[in-house]
């Protein structure tokens, strides 16, 4: 059986996660090997910007890169094997099975200029607490420019490590700030194939929208993959596009769209969009701007009417996916709190919401984006009155609301996996976590996190089953009337590291989050085939922060 203890009421979320963190290395020359590969080691000083506001880290890091083949045609493919030493950055928490994607930017000189990116495949790793983080070796391919000629030297300039934790992608860029040098040379010679072309919109595009791309000279039937890069070609990241419909026809024509990720993942700026079909690639400039050219504007479906009128307030040229606050103003410019309504802008930066004229005092309607004073816009409204009335009288109604607490309750404290007979079946037993109800009555927008740790199983005569034999698949939902959408944790093995069951992320543009939220999980216990018979128990501890 698994027993849990209830932590009771706890405080706010007190810590973010440091996930990632590999950086680049400096100063040793590379030399080609007998089998046509070039390998070199450098150990520069690198400066890392840690995710989630965790600060910065600076220090040396060794890095070895092996490039092959030694000679390629212009536009040809180079394979890179990357081995990094311990990073100068550490994590404040111990985490298990963290999905990780490493990449390395190499600056070219000599026979070609610009920057190429070596991007490794996604893998999972355990991140220790307070210990320099060391990524396992990884491999990736890149293409040299189609106009390359002669010896091309490659120098590391930046690493980027992306980690996926609690439903979010955390990025740790590490820049070479001192030392460094070439880690290898590849020679471009011969006649390359006809270079591909790529076209992208000349006008700024918004995050979370489809970007039309086109071009010619591509590999017929190839599988085009778009990436968003820094100007010059570095930091290329396919995760900056959430999806695409790109295809290559039999005549080598590229067509379709690539949809940018949301504004939080793609800040305003000047970029290069790169498309790679496996054998060819090309880039085109692309400007991303969440707020389109022109000022934010609001309009009313009508500018006058009696008290009780319901009008539509519309806006355009706002940041996408942001909370817009709409409120009535009196003659002094004071907001009438009981008139306030909230609406989220669309991916195109527009919004529309119904607004009720609640008082004769209303002289204008105001909208702002996330309580930012710079985004305040107003439109006048005139309250009309009829004649012949018998007068009016006001009565003021008062009440008080006090903040509550963050707490949780659970339906039970025992989970039974049943009996396993050694030597029969797969040894897999299934059960379900007792439902946990989180209540957030604080009336704030701080968010919260519900995590679990698990001890190993033990029996009375000394038998053990490791905690990692239990895996879970979390679920969480909001009860009716709750404000905010909870996020379930990822399927994972349990153990001493905190595993997420459910969380609510803070949203600075939302007035508050709160209500009741249900969380549970499917549990799977895989009993090792060579386990001492007996009755086993372990303790699962849930922590709400």
Residue 80 pLDDT grade (very low, low, confident, very high; cuts 50, 70, 90): very high
Based on the structure, what is the number of domains in the chain? 4
Q: How much of the chain exceeds pLDDT 70, in percent?
A: 90
pLDDT at residue 108 is higher than 50 = yes
pLDDT of residue 509: 65
Other C-beta atoms lying within 10 Å of the C-beta of residue 258: 25
Residues 471 and 373 placed together within one structural domain of the fold: no
Least confident among 119-123, 178-182, 283-287: 178-182
Other C-beta atoms lying within 10 Å of the C-beta of residue 392: 7
Helix (H) or strand (E) holding 310: strand 310-316
Q: Which one of 258, 288, 318 terminates a domain? A: 288
As a whole number, mean pLDDT of residues 93-116 equals 91
Residues 229 and 183 placed together within one structural domain of the fold: no
Compute the mean pLDDT over every residue in the chain, rounded to the nearest whole number: 86
Tokens of 323: 């909370």
Residue 93 pLDDT grade (very low, low, confident, very high; cuts 50, 70, 90): confident
Least confident among 5-14, 454-463, 504-513: 5-14
Asked whether residue 455 is assigned to any structural domain, the reply reads yes
As a whole number, mean pLDDT of residues 74-102 equals 89
Residues 336 and 266 placed together within one structural domain of the fold: no
Least confident among 8-12, 92-96, 478-482, 515-519: 8-12
Residues of the domain holding 328: 302-383
State the Cα–Cα distance between residues 511 and 478, nearest whole angstrom: 17
As a whole number, mean pLDDT of residues 448-454 equals 94
Between 373 and 392, the more confident residue is 373
Residues 273 and 315 placed together within one structural domain of the fold: no
Residue-wise over 141-155: b if at least 16 C-beta within 10 A, else e? ebbbbbebbeebbbb
Residues 207 and 180 placed together within one structural domain of the fold: no
pLDDT at residue 37 is higher than 70 = no
pLDDT of residue 26: 34
State the Cα–Cα distance between residues 514 and 98, nearest whole angstrom: 29
Residue-wise over 92-131: b if at least 16 C-beta within 10 A, else e? ebbbbbbebbbbbbbbbebbbebbbbbbbeeeebebeeee
Short-list 319, 312, 424, 439, CA closest to 369? 319
pLDDT of residue 263: 75
Tens of pLDDT, residues 157-167 = 999 999 888 77
Q: How much of the chain exceeds pLDDT 90, in percent?
A: 61
Q: For residues 288 and 205, is the Cβ–Cβ distance under 8 A?
A: yes
pLDDT of residue 14: 28
Residues 124 and 254 placed together within one structural domain of the fold: no
Short-list 378, 340, 379, CA closest to 359? 340
pLDDT of residue 41: 93
Asked whether residue 50 is assigned to any structural domain, the reply reads yes
Asked whether residue 132 is assigned to any structural domain, the reply reads yes
Asked whether residue 25 is assigned to any structural domain, the reply reads no
Tens of pLDDT, residues 114-133 = 999 999 999 999 988 888 88
Tens of pLDDT, residues 452-475 = 999 999 999 989 999 999 999 999
CATH number for position 107: 2.60.40
Least confident among 61-65, 260-264, 428-432, 495-499: 260-264
As a whole number, mean pLDDT of residues 355-384 equals 92
Residue-wise over 281-311: b if at least 16 C-beta within 10 A, else e? bbbbebebbbbbeeebebebeeeebeeebeb
As a whole number, mean pLDDT of residues 65-89 equals 93
Asked whether residue 8 is assigned to any structural domain, the reply reads no
Between 442 and 517, the more confident residue is 517
Residues 171 and 206 placed together within one structural domain of the fold: no
Residues 248 and 356 placed together within one structural domain of the fold: no
536-544 and 2-5 as β-strands: parallel, antiparallel, unpaired? parallel
State the Cα–Cα distance between residues 207 and 319, nearest whole angstrom: 9
Residue 259 pLDDT grade (very low, low, confident, very high; cuts 50, 70, 90): very high
End-to-end CA distance of the chain: 26
Q: Which one of 188, 210, 227 terminates a domain? A: 188
Between 181 and 402, the more confident residue is 181
State the Cα–Cα distance between residues 502 and 522, nearest whole angstrom: 13
CATH number for position 284: 2.60.40.230
pTM above 0.85, yes or no: no
Ramachandran angles phi, psi of 142, nearest 5°: -145, 165
pLDDT of residue 386: 59
Residues 180 and 53 placed together within one structural domain of the fold: yes
Q: Which one of 249, 264, 288 terminates a domain? A: 288
Q: Which residues pair with 425 in a beta bridge?
A: none
pLDDT of residue 391: 55
Asked whether residue 479 is assigned to any structural domain, the reply reads yes
Query: Look-up: residue for tokens 């009555």?
Result: 441
Residues 360 and 449 placed together within one structural domain of the fold: no
Asked whether residue 4 is assigned to any structural domain, the reply reads no
Residues 422 and 363 placed together within one structural domain of the fold: no
Short-list 193, 279, 188, 268, CA closest to 228? 268
Asked whether residue 307 is assigned to any structural domain, the reply reads yes
Tens of pLDDT, residues 207-257 = 888 999 999 999 999 999 999 999 888 889 999 999 999 999 999 999 999
Residues 184 and 202 placed together within one structural domain of the fold: no
pLDDT at residue 385 is higher than 50 = yes
Between 31 and 97, the more confident residue is 97
């Amino acid at each position: 059986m698994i027993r849990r203890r209830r932590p009771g009421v706890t405080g706010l979320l007190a810590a973010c996660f440091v996930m990632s963190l590999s950086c680049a290395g400096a100063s040793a020359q590379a030399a080609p090997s007998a089998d046509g590969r070039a390998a070199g080691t450098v150990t520069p000083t690198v400066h890392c910007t840690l995710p989630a506001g965790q600060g910065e880290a600076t220090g040396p890091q060794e890095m070895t890169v092996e490039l092959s083949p030694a000679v390629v045609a212009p536009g040809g493919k180079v394979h890179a094997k990357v081995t990094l030493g311990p990073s100068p950055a550490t994590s404040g928490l111990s985490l298990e099975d963290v999905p990780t994607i490493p990449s390395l930017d190499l600056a070219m000189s000599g026979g070609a200029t610009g920057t190429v990116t070596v991007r490794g495949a996604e893998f999972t790793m355990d991140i220790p607490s307070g210990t320099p983080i060391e990524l396992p070796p990884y491999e990736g391919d890149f293409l040299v420019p189609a106009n390359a000629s002669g010896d091309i030297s490659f120098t590391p300039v930046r690493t980027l490590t992306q980690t996926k934790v609690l439903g979010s992608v955390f990025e740790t860029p590490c820049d070479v700030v001192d030392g460094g040098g070439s880690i290898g040379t590849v020679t471009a010679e011969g006649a390359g194939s006809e270079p591909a072309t790529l076209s992208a919109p000349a006008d700024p595009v918004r995050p979370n929208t489809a970007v039309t791309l086109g071009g010619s000279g591509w590999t017929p039937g190839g599988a085009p993959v778009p990436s968003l890069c820094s100007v010059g070609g570095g930091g290329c990241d396919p995760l900056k596009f959430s999806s695409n419909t790109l295809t290559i026809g039999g005549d080598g024509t590229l067509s379709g769209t690539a949809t940018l990720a949301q504004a939080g993942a793609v800040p305003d700026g000047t970029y290069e969009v790169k498309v790679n079909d496996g054998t060819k690639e090309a880039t085109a400039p692309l400007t991303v701007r969440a707020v389109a050219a022109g000022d934010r504007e609001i309009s009313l479906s009508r500018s006058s009417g009696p008290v009780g009128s319901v009008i539509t307030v519309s806006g355009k040229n706002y940041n996408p996916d942001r909370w817009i606050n709409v409120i009535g103003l009196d003659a002094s410019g004071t907001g009438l709190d009981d008139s306030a309504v909230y609406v989220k802008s669309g991916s195109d930066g527009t919004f529309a919401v119904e607004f009720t004229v609640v008082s004769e005092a209303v002289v204008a309607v105001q909208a702002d984006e996330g309580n930012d004073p710079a985004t305040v816009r107003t439109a006048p409204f005139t309250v009309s009155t009829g004649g012949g009335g018998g007068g009016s009288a006001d009565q003021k109604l008062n009440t008080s609301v006090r903040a509550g607490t963050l707490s949780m309750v659970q339906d039970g404290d025992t989970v039974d996996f049943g009996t396993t007979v050694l030597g029969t079946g797969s040894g897999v037993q299934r059960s379900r976590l007792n439902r946990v109800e989180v209540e957030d009555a604080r009336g704030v927008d701080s968010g919260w996190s519900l995590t679990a740790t698990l001890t190993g199983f033990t029996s009375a005569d000394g038998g053990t089953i490791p905690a990692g034999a239990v895996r879970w698949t979390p679920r969480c939902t909001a009860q009716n009337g709750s404000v905010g959408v909870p996020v379930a944790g990822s399927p994972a093995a349990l153990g001493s590291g905190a595993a997420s069951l459910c969380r609510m992320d803070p949203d600075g543009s939302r007035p508050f989050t709160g209500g009741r939220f249900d969380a549970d999980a499917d549990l799977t216990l895989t009993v090792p085939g060579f386990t001492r018979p007996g009755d086993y128990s372990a303790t699962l501890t849930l922590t709400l922060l």
